[in-house]
């Protein structure tokens, strides 16, 4: 770790990199030095809302969150080092992947931002998958666009530009309609050789919608694709003033390509080499496995995306993971406070999660579904959080917590089994990251049991995607950019990082296998809840 005066000098000279990631529940800004150590960070909590049948965030919240996260990071720098940030060596923005943001030629958002969480484009996804002979998940931007066409939505004819959340923020602050290849691969299929959108499929889509007579071609309304190491614009004067409301930040700072949270997760865990992978555990859960070869056929459960440098990745993405666990923790905290105990959230999580280690291997016959929203992998268009037990189940706190942790991996497990058992994909290592792994052992042990693969956690696991985005910004700006991203990460960022590896426990693996069969059989219960438990119950 560099000393205090060295860091202060680095900040003054702009020898830093900034990553800002807009996640599902938090916007986080992380400033790093040339040794990739975090200098300061700031965050802003936010939450999506259901509006007119779509999960969304407002542009006002995007702006407020960016400014608040940056401001808190800037304040921490001033408090710790007595210096005002005026220049930064490089900046990068990342955000939750997929979704749909459509703008007209004046820059007006035509419909509220439709996030990855929406399970509303199933019909479009099916048609496009058949048309392209390539899996198009309904989360992808192209599925949202085609669903809007199928729905005959008026705004489609007015579209001048569509992008993702990271692409929007980058455009707002630079004026450049750019996107990193990893995030682009969640908009439209990528041609690995060309490192660009698949031209054949672009033409197929244009032919598919030709009869509608829209004034645009698909390639004209998509952002330009960049790969890691390239510069994708500079911070404009207006952008600097938007990001830093105190107007201390200078314009002209180079920006790397905006990326998706999947890509930054791969960077943050050094898992972009072939035969490696990572699992990201948060509001949603996904596994990214860097592939050696093409899959034998199209699987609706497997997305084919890319790393930030364009290598093919098999992605298993489940919409639901930690939200229901967080809701139960809120209930337990409320109970604790009602009993007169004021415990902070971190301790509550640690105590409750560790109870899962005392549980029966299969969770004692309990069953839950943390489906806040629909889940494509298991065929549910909507979600109903559900907890079920039989009179014979062993209903205690330990089994309750283990069941909720197990179910967080349920849909992911179904998709991962396709890769490992049907496609025989070889995985040398899985690295795990996300808030669950802040509590030692528990999350790692549960993940290893669910996937039956050794799971590694790095000390950087808690740093998250914003740190990974800062690394990508640093990669662009350093003299080592002629090296591959893999070599840069191996030789510069992670060369001294000590990782903790945990092998699957046979008893845990058998327990999870028992649980997952119960989970699959019980999906009809979840479907019944969707059909019979109405959303607007107050009515």
Q: Is 93 helix (H, G, I), strand (E, B) or coil?
A: strand
Measured between alpha carbons, how far is residue 124 from residues 135, 161, 189, 445, 484 in Å? 12, 20, 15, 39, 37
pTM confidence score: 0.83
Dig out the tokens for 498 from the structure: 């000590």
Percent of the chain with pLDDT over 90: 81
> What is the number of residues in the chain?
539
Give pLDDT tens digits for 342-361.
888 889 999 999 999 999 99
- Residue 394 CB coordination number (10 Å): 15
Q: What is the mean pLDDT of residues 16-31?
A: 96
**What are the beta bridge partners of residue 225?**
179
Q: What is the mean pLDDT of residues 295-306?
A: 92
Fold held by 271-457+505-539? Nucleotidyltransferase; domain 5 (3.30.420)
pLDDT computed for residue 394 by the predictor: 97
**C-alpha–C-alpha distance, residues 229 and 42, integer Å:** 25
pLDDT band at 1 (very low <50, low <70, confident <90, very high): very low
Give pLDDT tens digits for 443-477.
999 999 999 989 998 876 566 789 999 999 999 98
- Across 444-464, b (16+ Cβ under 10 Å) vs e yields bbbbbbbbbbebbbbebbebb
pLDDT computed for residue 481 by the predictor: 64
Domain boundaries, the chain: 271-457+505-539
Is the confidence at residue 289, as pLDDT, over 60?
Answer: yes
Cα 36–chain centre separation: 21
| Averaged confidence pLDDT in the chain | 93
Give pLDDT tens digits for 197-225.
999 999 999 999 999 999 999 999 999 99
**C-alpha–C-alpha distance, residues 301 and 410, integer Å:** 13
Give pLDDT tens digits for 482-528.
689 999 999 999 988 888 899 999 999 999 999 999 999 999 999 99
User: End-to-end distance of the chain based on CA atoms, in angstroms?
Assistant: 59
Give pLDDT tens digits for 519-535.
999 999 999 999 999 87
Dihedral, CA of residue 495, residue 498, residue 503 and residue 504, to nearest 10: -100
Is the confidence at residue 435, as pLDDT, over 90?
Answer: no
pLDDT computed for residue 411 by the predictor: 95
**What does the H/E/C string look like for 158-208?**
HCCEEECHHHHHHHHHHCCCEEEHHHHCCCCCEECCCCEECHHHHHHHHHH
pLDDT band at 324 (very low <50, low <70, confident <90, very high): very high
In the numeric block, the tokens 């699992």 are attached to 279
pLDDT computed for residue 282 by the predictor: 84
Q: Is 231 left (phi over 0), alpha (psi -120 to 50) or beta?
A: beta
Dig out the tokens for 416 from the structure: 């991962």
pLDDT computed for residue 488 by the predictor: 94
Q: What is the mean pLDDT of residues 329-343?
A: 93
pLDDT computed for residue 461 by the predictor: 58
Contact 255, 235 (CB under 8 A): yes
Is the confidence at residue 265, as pLDDT, over 80?
Answer: yes
């Amino acid at each position: 770790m560099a000393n205090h005066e060295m860091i202060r000098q680095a900040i003054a000279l702009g020898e830093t990199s900034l990553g800002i990631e807009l996640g599902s529940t938090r916007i986080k800004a992380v400033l790093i030095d040339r040794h990739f150590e975090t200098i300061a960070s700031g965050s802003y909590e936010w939450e999506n809302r259901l509006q007119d049948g779509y999960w969304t965030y407002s542009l006002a919240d995007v702006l407020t969150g960016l400014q608040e996260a940056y401001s808190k990071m800037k304040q921490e720098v001033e408090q710790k080092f007595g210096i005002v940030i005026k220049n930064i060596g490089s900046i990068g923005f990342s955000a939750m992947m997929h979704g749909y943001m459509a703008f007209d030629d004046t820059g007006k958002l035509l419909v509220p931002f439709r996030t990855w969480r929406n399970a509303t484009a199933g019909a479009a996804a099916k048609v496009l998958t058949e048309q392209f002979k390539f899996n198009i998940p309904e989360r992808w931007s192209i599925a949202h666009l085609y669903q809007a066409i199928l729905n005959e939505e008026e705004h489609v004819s007015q579209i001048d530009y569509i992008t993702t959340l990271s692409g929007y923020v980058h455009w707002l602050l630079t004026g450049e309609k750019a996107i990193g290849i990893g995030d682009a691969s969640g908009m439209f299929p990528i041609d690995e050789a060309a490192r660009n959108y698949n031209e054949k499929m672009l033409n197929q889509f244009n032919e598919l919608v030709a009869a509608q007579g829209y004034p645009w071609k698909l390639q004209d309304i998509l952002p330009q694709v960049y790969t890691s190491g390239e510069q994708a614009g500079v911070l404009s004067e207006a952008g600097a003033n938007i990001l830093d409301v105190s107007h201390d930040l200078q314009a002209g700072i180079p920006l790397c390509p905006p990326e998706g949270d999947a890509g930054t997760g791969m960077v943050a865990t050094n898992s972009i080499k072939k035969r490696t992978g990572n699992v990201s555990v948060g509001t949603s859960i996904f596994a990214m496995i860097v592939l050696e070869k093409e899959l034998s056929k199209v699987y609706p459960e497997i997305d084919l995306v890319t790393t930030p440098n364009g290598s093919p990745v098999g992605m298993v993405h489940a919409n639901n993971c930690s939200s229901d666990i967080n809701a139960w923790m809120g209930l337990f905290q409320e109970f604790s406070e009602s009993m007169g105990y004021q415990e902070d959230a971190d301790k509550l999580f640690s105590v409750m999660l560790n109870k899962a280690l005392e549980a029966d291997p299969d969770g004692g016959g309990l069953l839950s579904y943390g489906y806040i929203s629909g889940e494509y992998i298991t065929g549910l268009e909507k979600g109903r959080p559900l907890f079920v037990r039989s009179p014979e189940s062993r209903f205690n706190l330990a089994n309750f917590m283990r069941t909720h942790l197990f179910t967080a991996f349920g849909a992911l497990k179904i998709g991962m089994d396709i890769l490992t058992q049907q496609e025989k994909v070889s995985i040398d290592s899985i690295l795990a990251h996300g808030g669950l792994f802040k509590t030692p052992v528990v999350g790692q042990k549960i993940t290893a049991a669910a996937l039956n693969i050794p799971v590694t956690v790095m000390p950087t696991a808690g740093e998250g995607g914003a740190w990974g985005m800062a690394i990508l910004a640093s990669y662009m700006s350093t003299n080592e950019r002629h090296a591959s991203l893999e070599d840069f990460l191996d030789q510069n960022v992670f060369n001294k990082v000590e990782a903790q590896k945990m092998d699957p426990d046979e008893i845990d693996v058998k327990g999870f296998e028992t649980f997952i069969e119960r989970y699959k059989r019980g999906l009809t219960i979840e479907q019944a809840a969707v059909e019979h438990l109405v959303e607007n119950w107050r009515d």
